[in-house]
Amino acid sequence: MRILLASSEVYPYSKTGGLADMVGALGKALARKGHEVGIVTPLYAGVRKRFPTLTPLRQPLDLPLGTGLATAQVYCLRPAERLTIYFVDQPRFFERPGLYQENGRDYPDNAERFIFFSKAVAQLVLALPSKLDLLHLHDWQPGLAAVLLKDELKRAGQGSGPRICVTIHNLAFQGVFPADKFPLTNLPWDFFTPDGVEFYKQLNCLKAAMVYSDVITTVEIMTEELGCGLDGLLRKRHSALYGILNGVDYEEWNPMSDPALSSPFSVDDLGAKAANKLALQEEFNLPPRADIPLFGNVGRLAEQKGVDILLRALEETAELNFQFVLLGSGETRFEQAYEDLARRFPGRIAVKIGFDEALSHRIEAGSDFFLMPSRFEPCGLNQMYGLRYGAIPIVRTTGGLDDTVIDIKEDAEHANGIKFIEYSSKALAKGIRKALALYGEPPLLAYYRKNAMKADFSWERTTTEYLKVYQGNATADP
Ligand code: ADP
Ligand code: GLC
């Protein structure tokens, strides 16, 4: 098939979270299976410097944007056979320090930026020399491309165009903007209705994708918890809706060949995992002690991730003997709360505020346990990385966390993590206590670790499921 993925972030070019990992890995996996794959994404600051072999497409795309005009110069990169990355260049919109925000504040022109990006996606589909079979949009940022492309093809009398699939990675982000941004789409107002792109008198970019795509997928095996105001639409489109769990790119996340680690390790050589732990304790200025259990956490500091209960649980367990390291960035109030905690518990709690890809790998490698107490988690990749790196995940039973981690109560033979149900610091603290008890039983801990490191979330299965959806052969969830 000829497939084009569209995403506002793609690893290794840009990343704020799991979306980037997922799209980068899906593109690679599809190309490996013999499909001709493109990924279209904005050209953010610094990409050109890191990837100097970008070549421009001959014709720039001139795009109307309301009453104005904006040009998208598209640059191509071929990182692998059958895989092309198309970078949409418009310095006015994308040459900035952040992808979506700066200092915790969304850019005020995000509507313009991503309406422009959606237009570039739709026009690129039409400009590509060979006809596409499938356009796969990810999250709200390229969402309007579904309706823009359909409208364009209809007006040109050009038939149906490629099948369109949208994947919802996080329903909490929908790209909702005031109605006065709608004219930037240059679509007729007929589309601005509750059956179209309107959502309580506002423009909703994710809804646009959900209404105008042929098929919708989510990254968790479906539960009825989904919603965020779009429940009605999800029910209406139930027959076109599928849940597909993400995979892990085991080329990037392999403790035996990870360039971020000084001591590579495997399930048969856990001695080297212990060396990673000591190195991590040193990196965080904690006493390098093999006997003290080390808990890690990496992530966006947002309500979704359960920051409030984790902060409280760490206070509530202050008398217990363990260390905790965190790498994260996000809401200022949470960044400050963690920094305060680290100041109050020196030698026990250490935090780094920022975004650091290599350090995130070292935390997975060096931690005994990986904490992920999310309030909600559509899929979650960090707990799967934790499993592969032998950091036993402690997770709340929500979304993908519940789907990927096995508690001893569910299946003693395959147990590889610790789960708690209630969203409270008390329930989480109980999970931490269970982890400490497990740490006190080395043979059982080794058994968990083995199970964890052997759990397989490779892209093979995920890609097969996407291909079924692309080809219209998938069976809907009950
Ligand atoms: P989400 O997409 O909701 O943020 P996931 O668990 O799916 O959650 O993916 C998060 C990804 O982003 C992981 O690869 C994680 O390591 C990475 N990540 C998040 N915050 C940071 C950070 N501060 N530094 C480095 N990597 C981070
Ligand atoms: C979103 C979700 C996360 C998921 C990721 C990749 O950011 O919050 O749970 O793993 O997308 O699909």
Per the domain annotation, does 235 fall within a domain?
A: yes
CA distance 50 to 53: 9
Give the distance (Å) from ligand 2 centre to CA of residue 17. 7
What is the model's pTM?
0.96
Q: Is the CB of 24 under 6 A from ligand 2?
A: no
Give the distance (Å) from ligand 1 centre to CA of residue 299. 5
Residue numbers of the domain that contains 372: 271-456
Give the distance (Å) from ligand 2 centre to CA of residue 21. 9
Per the domain annotation, does 259 fall within a domain?
A: no
Atom of ligand 2 nearest to the CA of 377: 9
Do 436 and 465 share a structural domain?
no
Do 452 and 314 share a structural domain?
yes
The domain tally of the chain equals 2
Do 300 and 241 share a structural domain?
no
Do 81 and 222 share a structural domain?
yes
CA distance 266 to 274: 11
Do 367 and 275 share a structural domain?
yes
Buried b / exposed e over 325-339, threshold 16 CB at 10 Å, is bbbbbbeeebbebbe
Give the distance (Å) from ligand 1 centre to CA of residue 65. 33
Amino acid at the residue 79:
P
Give the distance (Å) from ligand 1 centre to CA of residue 381. 8
How far CA 431 is from CA of 73, 328, 371, 421, 422, in Å, comes to: 51, 21, 10, 10, 11
Per the domain annotation, does 254 fall within a domain?
A: no
Q: Among candidates 365, 400, 401, 402, which has minimal Cα distance to 386? A: 365
Give the distance (Å) from ligand 1 centre to CA of residue 374. 13
Per the domain annotation, does 328 fall within a domain?
A: yes
Do 285 and 226 share a structural domain?
no
Query: Cβ distance 197 to 144 under 8 Å?
Result: yes
Do 279 and 136 share a structural domain?
no
Mutate to test the pocket of ligand 2, among 22, 99, 219, 459 (most ligand atoms within 8 A of CB): 219
Write the CATH number for 356.
Answer: 3.40.50.2000
Q: Among candidates 282, 145, 170, 163, which has minimal Cα distance to 220? A: 170
Q: Is the CB of 169 under 6 A from ligand 2?
A: yes
- Across the 478 residues of the chain, what is the mean pLDDT of every consecutive 10-residue run? 98 98 98 98 98 95 97 98 98 97 93 98 95 97 98 88 96 96 98 97 98 95 68 90 96 98 93 96 98 98 96 96 97 97 97 98 98 96 98 97 97 98 98 98 97 96 96 73
CA distance 50 to 65: 30
CA distance 442 to 274: 13
Q: What is the pLDDT of residues 365-394, one digit of tens each?
A: 999 999 999 999 999 999 999 999 999 999
Give the distance (Å) from ligand 1 centre to CA of residue 174. 19
Per the domain annotation, does 365 fall within a domain?
A: yes
CA distance 398 to 378: 8
Give the distance (Å) from ligand 2 centre to CA of residue 26. 14
Across 376-439, the runs of DSSP E, i.e. the strands, are 392-396, 418-420
Query: Cβ distance 371 to 328 under 8 Å?
Result: no
Ligand closest to the CA atom of residue 353: 1
Q: Is the CB of 174 under 6 A from ligand 2?
A: no
Do 141 and 31 share a structural domain?
yes
Q: Is the CB of 380 under 6 A from ligand 2?
A: yes
CA distance 30 to 464: 9
Angle of the 110-127 helix axis to the 205-212 helix axis, nearest 10: 30
Do 207 and 140 share a structural domain?
yes
Query: Cβ distance 428 to 307 under 8 Å?
Result: no
Do 30 and 93 share a structural domain?
yes
Atom of ligand 1 nearest to the CA of 364: 16
Per the domain annotation, does 478 fall within a domain?
A: no
Do 275 and 242 share a structural domain?
no
Mutate to test the pocket of ligand 1, among 300, 305, 389 (most ligand atoms within 8 A of CB): 300
Residues with CB under 6 A from ligand 1: 17-19, 21, 298-300, 327-329, 355-357, 360, 379-382
Per the domain annotation, does 476 fall within a domain?
A: no
Per the domain annotation, does 330 fall within a domain?
A: yes
Do 403 and 283 share a structural domain?
yes
Residue 231: what pLDDT? Answer: 86
Q: Is the CB of 372 under 6 A from ligand 2?
A: no
